[in-house]
Structure formats: C-alpha cells, structure tokens
Structure 1
Amino acid sequence: MALRVTFVAAAGSSTVLSERFEDSRPLDQAGWSEVQRVAHELLPLAAADLRYCSPAPRSRATGEGLGYAPLVQLALRDCDMGRWRGLTLGEAMAREPEAVDAWLTDPGSTPHGGESLLDFIGRVGGWLDTRPAEDHCRVVAVAEPSVIRAALVYALKAPPATYWNIDVRSLSTISVAGRPGRWSLRLDSVPAQPLRA
C-alpha cells in the first residue's frame, strides 16, 4: 500500500518576526495575494483523493483559496500554547525568559500550561498514521508551518530538537509517502516567492 500525504503550508498573515503562537487571525491582503500568485501551481493538488486542513483561519482560507474544499481536522491544529496563546516569541521571552528557555530546550516541558512539543509531535503523527492506506491514495493537507514541522519530525523519527531546525515557508509543499510507522520524505517543488522578513 502506498499512501502519499502532501502538506501545503498556509499562506502567511504576517511577517515571521510578528507571528503569534496559535495565531487565529485571518489572512491579510498580503496572504491573499500570495495564494493568488501560486494558485495555478498548487491547483493540481485539488485532484487528491482526500483534502484536509487545520482549523486555523489562515489554513482554512488557504485551502479554500486554492480550490481544495478541505475538511477541517482538529488533530492538525497548532500546538496548544496555554497562556502564551496570541503572543509572539519575543513577548513570551520578555514576560517569562526562564520558562521560554525551558520550553525551547526540553521537548517534554509545558511551562506555558499547554501542550508539550513531544505531545504535539505525537498528536500530528497519530493523525498521519491513521490516514486511509488505500493503494496509491493521495492526500493533501493545508496546515500551519509548525504542524508541518511536527509531521516531518514524526515521519523521519528524528529527535524532537530537530523541530527547531526545520524552516517551512508559506505555500511551500512537502510530501511523505509510505504507510503508518514507515514514512519517507519526498521533496516537492516550492513556488517562487519573495522572502518575507
């Protein structure tokens, strides 16, 4: 059985430096412009057998804007950041520097009162492992970059610290192929786009 899951990173709603934990803001005009610019390149993914998205507003809007009509999957939600929800990393660091340091160095820690990195990776990986494994089934999932990083760490059975070394750009795609417990990384093309600060 060969299953292929292609992840599409949601369009950005801000610059990288102003991204917020569990960002619930809708796509801004720049995000919509990104979707329109690459829609022709990503439209073929609409032919996937199954189309999903995370419940985040920008993931849902990206999926709809690309013509996927995706089904929302709660397991693809961003990491539960507890009391840091809505803050930028800089804001959390200014308020609780020791707690942020603990969170960045210990994947089992939950200083924010939410979900640990280990639990987040396990939740996303559990979703991946429960996809229908029919012959040559193609799945597309639009999600936040953090969710895609978690899926890649899980699929590659990489150490949790690897999560911090994966850079996922908005509207980039990457696929994993295989079956539950045995995934391989498949690098796809990334649409040309200007760099955002």
Structure 2
Amino acid sequence: MTTRLLLLTPARTASLRRAVFDDGDPLDEGGAARARAAAGRLVRPEAVVGSGSVRCAQTARLLGLGDLRAVPELAGLDAGRWRGRAVDEVGAAEPEALGRWLADPEAAAPGGESVADVCARVGRWLRALADEEAGRVTAVVEPDVVRAAAVHATGAPLSAFWRLDVEPLTVTELSGRAGRWNLRVGRPLAAVTAEER
C-alpha cells in the first residue's frame, strides 16, 4: 500500500512577517482569512497530525480538518534562547553563533537544536510512517519540518536544508512505498484541492 503524506504549512503569523524566531503566536488576520477561504477543499485523510504549535493547530481547524494530533517528532526547529527574537537582532548581537548555526548543520542554536537534530527526528517519523502503510495522512507542520522531510526523502545532504524555501499555506506531497519516498514540492493548496475533487 502506498502512503500519501500531505505536508501542509500553516498560514502566516505576525512573527513570520517580522522574521522573528517562532514564539508561538497565533495566526494573524490575513493568515486566518486565507485558511478559512480554503476550508473544506481537502479530502478528509485517515489521520491529521502535526507540529504542536498554535498556528498549526489553528490552521488545521480553519481548514476543516479538525483537531490535529501533535507528534513530538514533527515539532518545529527549537531555536532555544533565540525564540521570540528577530533574526536581524540575533545577527547583530551574536553574528558568529547565528552564522555557525546557518552554515553548519551540526551546530545547535544556543539552548536549542541543530538542523541535523531536526532532520534525524523527522526521518525517524517518516520511516515509521512508511512501515505502518498509513494510507492518506495530512500533517500540518512548520516549514522546518517540510525542509527536513524533503532532505530525507531525496537523500540530499543536510546542507540543502536552508536552500529550500517553504511558503505559508502550501502543500508538499510525499508518497511512500517499501521504504522509498517520492517528493512533490510546494504546490499551492488550491492546486491540490482542484485535483482531488
């Protein structure tokens, strides 16, 4: 059986607009309106899982997917003490640490985690999901999780992580069978819903 996984990124928040390390804020008005406008267009999956963030949970509800089940392996990248701070602010105060974190996949954010950590835990989850033959699964996840899943699915080096741009309220599709994943990247939600009707 083929497992079809839709990785859906949440709608925008004020932090995202200001380039702030995620601080758990809710969707802004524009993000909520876009999610509501797309409600009811996705085929109901067998399971709805995702990151435990406020914006992922809100996006799932506004899209009509109901309450998602938070999966620890699908949490967004932990920025440690940088959480809630603007990227520019961190770059001005700790340029070496930020530069190292962005350039070296093994370097962790202070008190947080590295790209390698995120890729490893998302990879473990994908391997377990493939073994389950789960059918159709929708995961509302942070962009970091989409990047990690793409790196895992393609076998790309960890250095590719920051080279993948992931927009809000888009779908990245993985289909898996026998331990192998195929990747379809970044289709707008409207394109996915039109094909599934």
CA contact (8 A) 2:130 2:177 kept: no
* Change in CA separation of 1:140 and 1:191 when aligned onto 2, cut-off 3 Å: closer
Cα distance between partner residues in 2 of 1:111 and 1:61 = 27
Name the structure 1 match of 2:75: 77
Preserved CA contact (<8 Å) 1:10 1:142: yes
Which ranges in structure 1 are unaligned for 5 or more consecutive residues? 193-197
Q: Is the 8 A contact 1:84 1:112 kept in 2?
A: yes
Whether contact under 8 Å (2:173, 2:184) holds in the other structure is: yes
> Which whole-Å CA distance do the structure 1 matches of 2:30 and 2:56 have between them?
15
- In the TM superposition, what is the alpha-carbon distance from 1:191 to its structure 2 partner? 3.8
Q: Which residue of 2 aligns with 1:23?
A: 23
Aligned AA for 2:21?
F
Normalised by the size of structure 2, how large is the TM-score? 0.87
Amino acid at match of 2:169: L
Deviation for aligned residue 1:155: 1.3
3-state SS of 2:188 partner = coil
TM-score where L is the length of structure 1: 0.87
| Counterpart position of 2:154 | 156
d(CA) in 2 for partners of 1:173, 1:79: 19
Is the CA contact 2:3–2:136 (under 8 Å) kept in the aligned structure 1? yes
Q: Deviations over 1:128-184 (max 9, x none)?
A: 221264557111000111111111111111111211111111111011111474111
The structure 1 residue matched to 2:99, chosen from 84, 97, 101, is 101
Between the aligned partners of 1:9 and 1:107, the Cα distance in structure 2 is 22
Residue 38 of structure 2: aligned partner: 38
In structure 2, relative to structure 1, the CA distance for the partners of 1:28 and 1:176 (3 Å cut) is same
Using the TM superposition, give the Cα deviation of residue 66 of structure 1 relative to its aligned residue in structure 2, in angstroms. 0.9
Counterpart code for 1:39: A
C-alpha separation in 2, matches of 1:168 and 1:57 = 19
Superposed CA RMSD: 2.0
3-state SS in 2 of match to 1:26: coil
The aligned residue for residue 138 of structure 2 is 140
In structure 2, the CA distance between the partners of 1:180 and 1:112, relative to structure 1 (3 Å rule), is farther
CA separation of 1:91/1:173 partners in 2, compared to 1, >3 Å: closer, same or farther?
A: same
Q: Against the structure 1 CA distance between its residues 116 and 139, is the aligned structure 2 distance closer, same or farther, given a 3 Å change threshold? A: same
- 2:46 aligned with 1:49, yes or no? yes
| CA separation of 1:130 and 1:55: change in aligned 2, threshold 3 A | same
Deviation, 1:187, is 4.4
Number of corresponding residues: 189
